[in-house]
A and B are shown apart, each in its own frame.
Chain A
């Protein structure tokens, strides 16, 4: 039972990596786990989602009405992206980069679209990781 669960967890992780949801940074985080901090990665992911929520909100608000400050949007996204990359959220990161490109191009529609993509990937990853952590326990 236990080992099966572990296998499932491992399998899921592999999938997440293969499908690009996560990158090697996630694996590095797991390497940091030790007996003293057995749930380190889970805690970090949780705190990521908590802390980054404000970025999502702020960007959302900033995208609502003009005039649009693309520099500010870019900065906000930059921070969010950095945070995402620290947990290995690869797809989210990619969406963030696309958003930033739209900012550079001052393309507000593009920003909105890519931002939708960011939110989607962000939410999807959250669900998947929650499942994964459950499996690991």
Chain B
């Protein structure tokens, strides 16, 4: 919503486009589109009745995966999600993370369990509220406030960028990631409108995440890529907003925008690298490494940042970059394990705020992750390559996160590899990417923002994601149009080819080693640019299906989700120190069996802050077989899918170097 008056209060009437602007503002909250998820049919029925009595539009769903598909298919179809915590097919918190990452919708958790730690978990995962069952209608009557609040804060955040009073230095040192920009709304107003225009230009579909026409700079994939390049050029230590701005040479972009973005980026990097892995200073490593490419995949909805997540290995910097890039509209969540749903991809929403968050997950400092910048893959289904977690041996799999989301989500793909470099190809979601692939791919890819870099860290093949000019990281993820959402079709492809729809698939550089990984879900959820909350890469800890789901992904098995999870897990495990997220205790890989159920999401990412998270959209990917070589050839084609499929066919069970069992995506319940 656009608060032109500068008041911080969001008048419902101005909310305007709740979604795609459908909702009649003056009737708000009537018609609020709610998606309610609960495995208990009795509860579901009661909730539905209650919500209808509140004059909301209700869609009910008894399975988390179905809910995710609803959300992915109807990008702007919902305003808010209410979900139970304990569900058999997927942990509610994982769903929460996914939603935060991919769609950036407010999520309310419910449970009969009112114990403090569970409620706290809701908070840390970014839930907008936590209701104790049995839920009363009174509690539901006011859920609209969360929608409003979210939008308002996003708006505010945007404004912050525009208030030019902050000194560059100050900004950079600003510790808080959260935007508490009490910038004068008035001052920001005109800037907002200006920015909005710019944003609108950049973003094709800005409605995906917040449905609000926020007057803020949308850090699209491309934009972010440019930013990263500029920073890289200058050297992270020397990168000052002014110079960055000059280098970027983007009309309409202000120093303040850059400064705030830089701040976030730094936080992100810091988070990625963590203390231990700090490679030459946080930002340094990122910038300093030429081979690390930052892949920003902007797939609002569909990028799977899993790869990123998993990439715990990804050096912080890389992740940061990715995240930053990915930050787009989609909430950046530390893409940790996003269960591979049929579509796994994380769309990172580039939220400035989120930026830092994502970093955490990426702690993969030791490995360099080359993220491809702005590979302009058609974002629709761009999947981000997931950074694999080197340690986890997951790495072999390139997780490409493909965000099927229509929006261009810039997803940061962090490739974490055990090997020093992994390059993520942005834009082309290919599990196996040839190091150069992305570039070429990128070119072929539409400039859409999402760049999905699939990083195959394990292999160490690194792509120089270098922002492919064509694709910009579009944080705003609005680019959905172009983005192709790659869905990891979990079970759909036997070959396990992730549907790297060539369109915009994020290219993931698959390490050559990865060959084995097949069915690598093209979409990688990358990460997590979650909000301050620790991104839990480690959804794995939960040991829920998520973990397993990632696993398969990694392996390229059809279990995309598992792959995503793996990645996430990996990343988390990796970065135990760095990630804010709970360290992943269990290697995701280990759960081969569970893959099936987690199909939906791999690598759930914590949604820190609940609000801005990289929205990773996991689109379903046909099993993506990231075979470097194969991909390479095919990469040129738009039809990555076919490429993958071919590869899949040729590849036997995924045998990642990590020794994972190949999971066939087929097994994954789609």
Residues of A with Cβ closer than 8 Å to B? 25, 28-29, 31-32, 34, 37, 40, 43-44, 47-48, 51-52, 75, 78-79, 81-83, 85-88
Contacts and interface: CB of A to CB of B under 8 A. Distances in A.
Interface stretch (B37-45, B240-248, B590-598): B37-45
A34 B50 CA distance: 11
29 contacts: A25-B134, A28-B134, A28-B137, A32-B46, A32-B49, A32-B137, A34-B53, A44-B42, A44-B46, A44-B49, A47-B41, A47-B42, A48-B42, A51-B40, A51-B41, A51-B42, A52-B42, A75-B86, A78-B86, A79-B86, A81-B112, A82-B86, A82-B111, A82-B112, A83-B43, A85-B134, A86-B40, A86-B43, A86-B134
Interface of B: 39-43, 45-46, 49-50, 53, 86, 111-113, 133-134, 136-137
Contacts of B43: 82-83, 86
- Please report whether the interface of chain A is mostly helix, strand, loop or mixed according to DSSP: helix
Contacts of B42: 44, 47-48, 51-52, 83, 86-87
Contact of A37 (B40, B49, B113): B49
Contacts of A29: 46
B40 A79 contact: yes
B112 A78 contact: yes
Contacts of B137: 28, 31-32
A44 B112 CA distance: 18
Contacts of A82: 40, 43, 86, 111-112, 133
Contacts of B134: 25, 28, 85-86, 88
Given A32-B137, A34-B53, A44-B46, 12 more contacts: A28-B136, A28-B137, A32-B46, A44-B45, A51-B40, A51-B42, A75-B86, A78-B86, A82-B111, A83-B40, A85-B134, A86-B40
A32 B39 CA distance: 21
A32 B40 contact: no
Contacts of A83: 40, 42-43
A82 B110 CA distance: 11
A104 to B, nearest CB: 13
Contacts of B86: 75, 78-79, 82
Contacts of A28: 134, 136-137
Contacts of B39: 79
Nearest to A32: B49
Contacts of B133: 82, 85-86
A78 B45 CA distance: 19
Nearest to B111: A82
Nearest to B133: A82
A85 B40 CA distance: 12
Contact of B49 (A40, A48, A52, A79): A40
A5 B142 CA distance: 37
A79 B133 CA distance: 12
A96 to B, nearest CB: 10
B396 to A, nearest CB: 34
A51 B40 CA distance: 8
Nearest to A87: B42
Contacts of A37: 49
Contacts of A34: 53
A107 to B, nearest CB: 21
Contacts of B50: 32
B414 to A, nearest CB: 35
B43, B133, B134 — most chain A CB neighbours (10 Å): B134
Contacts of A31: 137
B50 to A, nearest CB: 6
Instruction: List the 8 shortest-distance A-B pairs measured between CB atoms, nearest first.
Output: A82-B112, A48-B42, A86-B43, A25-B134, A86-B134, A32-B49, A51-B41, A85-B134
Given A47-B45, A82-B43, A85-B134, A32 B53 contact: yes
Contacts of A78: 86, 112-113
Nearest to A40: B49
A44 B136 CA distance: 15
A28 B137 CA distance: 8
A78 B39 CA distance: 13
Nearest to A75: B86
B415 to A, nearest CB: 37
A114 to B, nearest CB: 18
A52 B39 CA distance: 12
A44 B46 CA distance: 7
Contacts of A87: 42, 46
A43, A85, A86 — most chain B CB neighbours (10 Å): A86
A28 B486 CA distance: 44
A48 B111 CA distance: 17
Contacts of A47: 41-42, 45
A85 B41 contact: no
A134 to B, nearest CB: 21
Nearest to B45: A44
Contacts of A81: 112
Given A25-B134, A78-B86, A78-B112, A86 B46 contact: yes
A85 B136 contact: no
A48 B137 CA distance: 19
A76 B581 CA distance: 29
B550 to A, nearest CB: 23
Contacts of A40: 49
A11 to B, nearest CB: 25
Nearest to A26: B134
Contacts of B136: 28
A137 to B, nearest CB: 20
A29 B137 CA distance: 9
A84 B86 CA distance: 15
A87 B49 CA distance: 13
A66 B112 CA distance: 28
